[in-house]
Amino acid sequence: MPDAAPRPEPFTPQTAPAALEDLRARLRATRWPDAPEDAGWSLGTDLDYLRELVAYWAEEFDWPAQEAALARLPRFRVRLGGLGIHFAHVRAAAPAGPALPLVLSHGWPDSFWRYAKVIPLLTDPGAHGADPADAFDVVVPDVPGYGYSDRPTGPPLNSIAVAGLWAELMDVLGYERFGAAGGDIGSHVSRYLGLDHPDRVVAVHRMDGGLPVFTGDPADLTPEERAWFEEVTAWGAAEGAYAAMHRTKPQTAAFGLTDSPVGLAAWIVEKLRSWSDCDGDIERCFTKDEILTNVTLYWLTGTIGSSMRMYHANAAIPPEQHARRVEVPSGFSLFRGDIVRPPRKWLERVANVVRVTEPARGGHFAPFEEPELYAEELRAFFRPYRAVATD
């Protein structure tokens, strides 16, 4: 007999009190490093800020309340490719017409958390001052090794493999055709959905063009592209140490970050601040509760090591894969505060570009920083492709 089709099962995690007591004990027993006077954030995470955040984490942060808030999203797990995949699946609320299925892919250092604020705006636009005809059925999976999805026990999966899983997930959920969107690693995953499943993906929306890989003659690049390549190189020299560690020796860092919640917070918080549109004040973009919800998800699921290993897998993707051009309609929202924003010429080189916008607010985590603005970007981009998905 053939194997039964995968069947999603409802999923509502509830953290054991002992796990939270262990976390608090570790926080209270932190052995703090020194820091040069007035170093601030110039050498990495600011010591004074992290002390303040950790004191709140240990004494005031209410994880059960945050866990309950996330549980208001309909969430499931299903077995695909030998792995348990966790995902939120929220259907459109009384759409005016057929709802467009949309799979949203997150990046690092986050999980389905990235889209928690924007999901209601996409599934029920009429309740938020937008056109009910723009409603989506939204699917937000955790990449394997992130959040509540299983950690691969063998080689880590790359973005190509994850795109294949998402295509299978959408099939399991009954969606023959759908849109794809994402940022960071999720931008790569969305790209490969468009490349490898063009018969199913009606359009792809991305928040970035990824870091450039070009195997042709540099003389063929435009001046704008060459300037961007130089900008990316300079950014890598100043800010890319974390990625070099992830690509090369992620397991070494995983020991400390899995054992120390403060080390984990330092690794993540510095990126939330430097990649968001907060002008140096992280709490302009994220409250302490929001920061700690993201970090606590990593802590309780023990996924910092497995999440970093995906960089190692992606670094091994052959150059010819990077050279492929996405031919399905592609749109890009390049938010003001994001890192290494590509010129349009580069985007047109790598994709069938039909729309590029530069929103005036928001950064790398725009779905969380500016959910209303991000939701409008998706509504506007996907509007012409709704009929295509239901043909």
The H or E element containing residue 313 is: helix 304-315
Q: Where are the domains of the chain?
A: 15-28+41-390
What residues are paired with 79 via a beta bridge? 84
| Active site residues per annotation | 184, 311, 364
What pLDDT is stored for residue 36 in this prediction?
95
pLDDT at 368 over 80: yes
Q: What is the pLDDT of residues 300-355, one digit of tens each?
A: 999 999 999 999 999 999 999 999 999 999 999 999 999 989 999 999 999 999 99
What pLDDT is stored for residue 72 in this prediction?
97
Task: Give the CATH class of 15-28+41-390.
Answer: alpha beta
First to last CA, the chain: 34
pLDDT at 1 over 50: no
Residue type, 176: E
Q: How far apart are CA 99 and CA 92, in angstroms?
A: 6
Vertex 297: Cα angle to 67 and 18 (nearest 5): 70
Q: Calculate mean pLDDT across residues 69-84.
A: 97
The H or E element containing residue 333 is: strand 326-333
Q: What is the pLDDT of residues 110-148, one digit of tens each?
A: 999 999 999 999 999 999 999 999 999 999 999 999 999
The encoded tokens of residue 211 equal: 């870091």
The H or E element containing residue 88 is: strand 83-90
Vertex 188: Cα angle to 227 and 234 (nearest 5): 30
Matching residue, tokens 């890598």: 236
CB hemisphere CA count around 196 (13 angstroms): 18
State what percent of residues in the chain have pLDDT above 90.
92
pLDDT at 388 over 90: no
Confidence of residue 391 (pLDDT cuts 50, 70, 90): low
